[in-house]
């Protein structure tokens, strides 16, 4: 045995001659756990503790001189390449300085120091404010260049025969983090409710909660869901909307919310069957805005195959028009939810309506409550103040082709149709001012320049509903027809003349449409039943 080992042996024997001290705490699990965590933090984890002020000071000095004063300052500069200073500048935005930092890191004399520089630059890569509003395009381009450099360095370091710390082994398990699809794997796994990969990367690579990695993982989850079959995607949709809108533990900023909602809208628009989804409609309009008022914004975000997704935009626009029309007749007409005939009639025209406005009386302007608040939010940018009328009157104004159609909420008001190119200047100004609110007088929406004036009164003689009369006149003028006829009693007059029976329309007085015959098995009876008539003994057939 050489002298050094003999000396060590003698010292150990002397130390333990009197027995171990405080042996009762040697097996304390909490103490051992703390020591283990400290050792891992200082020698095994990817995180590096450093004073932000020291980092920014080192970056500023390097920017000024192009030199570093020792390895510690180089490590600080590496940690700060993605940090944005008070003027919005960072090292990644400057190609010359960025390249010099990477060259210094690459040319370190030992693998250990080269690994430490890689570790510091990797930390900057994960903490870079990629999705933060105001981050410059030059910085983002520099971030992508850093990613390429890190990928190359990882390959070189992995081939080195020197031992690697545990965090580098984790980097080897998640090499896709240094590619242009960094979180695709995590997104697919999360769709299967498997978060082990993401948690492993976060823990061992010291990825903070506010890192772009968390945001890109959420986007990747949306994209993975978009690849599902229609039925499966629709089943997942409620949960995905909740995630996108930040209704879970995951914090979702505005930019991230826009990206996620755009993915969901585009995918739903591609479904073979796409009935209205109120939650998706409200998420889309609340995030991206009104698709007909903010088309440029929509087309910038909601894209398919690199082009604006016209189908998705028109789908949401159609939903919004239908919701606003429903709001008007259920909330703002005097008859409220009982005004189902006018509601059903105008819902048929949704595909033909190019624009719409809502002129509100003073009562609706002041109404509180969730329904009225939601309506005003959805109609933002298309609200007018209706002046010169009763407080409870409101007007629903639609542009349909070359015409402007006007319906009123209060009972007894007729329907008016105007040619767009013949509108009074004051009306045109109110509709196109672009102001948050503009006033319009009621007599300007029901004046003598109208092209057509119709009343919502069924014809008692011809047994023709007002819906049929509207369609006969309106569709002829605008040159277009809705997909189906209105909910009424088509061709009933012809049927009654052939059968030589009497009828009376009492609906205008709150009654029903009556056909006075007691036939219950004839062809006429079968036809009346098909038209939705019911039978009342000793009186005949009726339809409300």
**pLDDT single digits (tens) 148-165:** 999 999 999 999 988 899
- Overall average pLDDT of the 504-521 stretch: 74
Answer yes or no: is pLDDT of 358 > 60: yes
Indicate if 321 and 311 belong to the same structural domain. Answer: no
447: number of CA atoms within 13 Å, CB side? 14
CA dihedral 18, 23, 24, 29 (to 10 degrees): 180
Least confident of 245-259, 278-292, 417-431: 245-259
pLDDT of residue 512: 79
Phi-psi region of 305 (alpha: psi -120 to 50; beta: other; left: phi over 0): left
Single residue among 294, 315, 336 that ends a domain in this structure: 315
Q: Is residue 39 part of a domain?
A: no
Q: How confident is the model at residue 346 (pLDDT cuts 50, 70, 90)?
A: very high
Indicate if 342 and 307 belong to the same structural domain. Answer: no
Phi-psi region of 469 (alpha: psi -120 to 50; beta: other; left: phi over 0): alpha
Q: Which positions ≥6 away from 258 have C-beta within 8 Å?
A: 287, 288, 301
Single residue among 265, 298, 315 that ends a domain in this structure: 315
Tokens of 8: 């060590």
Single residue among 315, 342, 363 that ends a domain in this structure: 315
Least confident of 112-116, 189-193, 411-415: 411-415
Answer yes or no: is pLDDT of 39 > 50: no
pLDDT of residue 544: 73
* Residue among 495, 415, 485 at smallest CA distance from 450: 415
- Number of domains present in the structure of the chain: 4
Indicate if 295 and 327 belong to the same structural domain. Answer: no
Indicate if 324 and 433 belong to the same structural domain. Answer: yes
Answer yes or no: is pLDDT of 36 > 50: no
Indicate if 472 and 529 belong to the same structural domain. Answer: no
Indicate if 511 and 474 belong to the same structural domain. Answer: no
pLDDT of residue 44: 42
Q: Is residue 470 part of a domain?
A: yes
Q: How confident is the model at residue 489 (pLDDT cuts 50, 70, 90)?
A: low
Indicate if 130 and 212 belong to the same structural domain. Answer: no
Q: Which positions ≥6 away from 521 have C-beta within 8 Å?
A: none
- Overall average pLDDT of the 464-477 stretch: 86
pLDDT of residue 520: 80
* Percent of the chain surpassing pLDDT 70: 88
Answer yes or no: is pLDDT of 12 > 70: no
Q: How confident is the model at residue 539 (pLDDT cuts 50, 70, 90)?
A: confident
pLDDT of residue 423: 94
Indicate if 75 and 208 belong to the same structural domain. Answer: no
Q: Is residue 148 part of a domain?
A: yes
Indicate if 164 and 227 belong to the same structural domain. Answer: no
- Overall average pLDDT of the 416-426 stretch: 94
Q: Is residue 372 part of a domain?
A: yes
Rg from Cα positions in the chain: 36
In the block, which residue shows the tokens 């989804």? 277
Q: What is the 3-state secondary structure (H, E, C) of 479-540?
A: CCCCCCCCCCCCCHHHHHHHHCCEEEECHHHCCCEEEECCCCCCHHHHHHHHCCCEEECCCE
* Full residue range of the structural domain in which residue 450 is found: 317-478
In the block, which residue shows the tokens 């070189």? 156
Q: What angle do CA 165, 170, 172 make, to 5 degrees?
A: 100
pLDDT of residue 61: 93
Ramachandran angles phi, psi of 453, nearest 5°: -135, 125
* Residue among 327, 390, 392 at smallest CA distance from 356: 327
pLDDT of residue 522: 81
Indicate if 474 and 354 belong to the same structural domain. Answer: yes
Answer yes or no: is pLDDT of 526 > 90: no
pLDDT in tens, 428-452: 999 998 777 799 999 999 987 889 9
Answer yes or no: is pLDDT of 461 > 90: no
pLDDT of residue 26: 45
Q: Is residue 379 part of a domain?
A: yes
Tokens of 351: 């595909």
Q: How confident is the model at residue 28 (pLDDT cuts 50, 70, 90)?
A: low
Answer yes or no: is pLDDT of 177 > 60: yes
Indicate if 439 and 524 belong to the same structural domain. Answer: no
- Overall average pLDDT of the 123-150 stretch: 94
Q: How confident is the model at residue 171 (pLDDT cuts 50, 70, 90)?
A: very high
Indicate if 287 and 389 belong to the same structural domain. Answer: no
């Amino acid at each position: 045995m050489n002298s050094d080992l003999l000396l060590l042996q003698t010292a150990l024997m002397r130390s333990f001659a009197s027995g171990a001290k405080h042996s009762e705490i040697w097996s304390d699990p909490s103490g051992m756990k703390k020591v283990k965590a400290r050792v891992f933090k200082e020698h095994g984890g990817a995180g590096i503790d450093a004073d932000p002020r020291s980092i920014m000071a080192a970056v500023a000095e390097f920017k000024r001189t192009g030199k570093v004063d020792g390895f510690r300052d180089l490590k600080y500069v590496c940690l700060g390449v993605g940090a944005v200073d008070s003027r919005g500048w960072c090292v990644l935005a400057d190609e010359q300085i960025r390249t010099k930092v990477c060259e210094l890191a690459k040319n370190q004399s030992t693998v250990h120091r080269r690994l430490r520089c890689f570790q510091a630059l990797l930390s900057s890569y994960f903490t870079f404010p990629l999705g933060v509003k105001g981050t410059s395009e030059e910085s983002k381009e520099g971030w992508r260049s850093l990613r390429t450099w890190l990928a190359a360095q990882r390959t070189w370091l992995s081939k080195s025969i020197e031992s690697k710390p545990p965090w580098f082994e984790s980097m080897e398990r998640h090499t896709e983090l240094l590619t242009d699809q960094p979180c695709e794997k995590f997104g697919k796994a999360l769709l299967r409710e498997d978060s082990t990969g993401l948690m492993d990367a976060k823990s061992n690579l010291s990825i903070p909660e506010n890192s772009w990695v968390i945001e890109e993982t959420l986007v990747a989850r949306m994209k993975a869901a978009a690849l599902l079959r229609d039925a499966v995607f629709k089943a997942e949709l409620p949960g995905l909307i909740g995630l996108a809108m930040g209704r879970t533990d995951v914090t979702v900023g505005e930019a991230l919310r826009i990206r996620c909602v755009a993915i969901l809208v585009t995918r739903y628009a591609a479904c073979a069957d796409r009935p209205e989804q109120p939650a998706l409609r409200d998420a889309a309009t609340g995030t991206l805005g009104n698709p007909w008022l903010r088309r440029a914004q929509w087309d910038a975000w909601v894209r398919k195959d690199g082009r604006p997704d016209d189908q998705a935009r028109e789908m949401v626009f159609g939903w919004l028009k239908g919701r606003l029309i429903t709001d008007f007749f259920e909330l703002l007409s005097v008859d409220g939810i009982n005004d189902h005939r006018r509601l059903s009639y105008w819902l048929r025209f949704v595909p033909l309506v190019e624009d719409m406005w809502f002129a509100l009386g003073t009562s609706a302007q002041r109404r509180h409550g969730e329904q009225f608040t939601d309506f005003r939010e959805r109609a933002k940018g298309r609200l007018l103040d209706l002046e010169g009328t009763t407080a409870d009157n409101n007007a629903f104004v639609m542009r349909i082709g070359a015409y402007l159609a006007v319906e009123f909420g209060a009972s007894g008001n007729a329907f008016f149709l105007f040619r767009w190119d013949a509108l009074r200047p004051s009306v045109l100004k109110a509709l196109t001012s672009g102001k948050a609110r503009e006033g319009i007088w009621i007599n300007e929406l029901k004046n003598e320049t109208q092209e057509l004036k119709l009343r919502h009164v069924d014809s008692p003689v011809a047994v023709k509903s007002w819906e049929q009369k509207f369609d006969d006149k309106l569709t002829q003028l605008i040159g277009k027809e809705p997909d189906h006829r209105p909910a009424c009693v088509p061709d009933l007059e012809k049927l009654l003349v052939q059968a030589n029976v009497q009828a009376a329309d009492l609906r205008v007085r709150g009654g029903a449409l009556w056909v006075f015959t007691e036939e219950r098995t004839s062809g006429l009876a079968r036809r009346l039943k098909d038209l939705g008539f019911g039978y009342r003994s000793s009186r005949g057939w009726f339809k409300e």
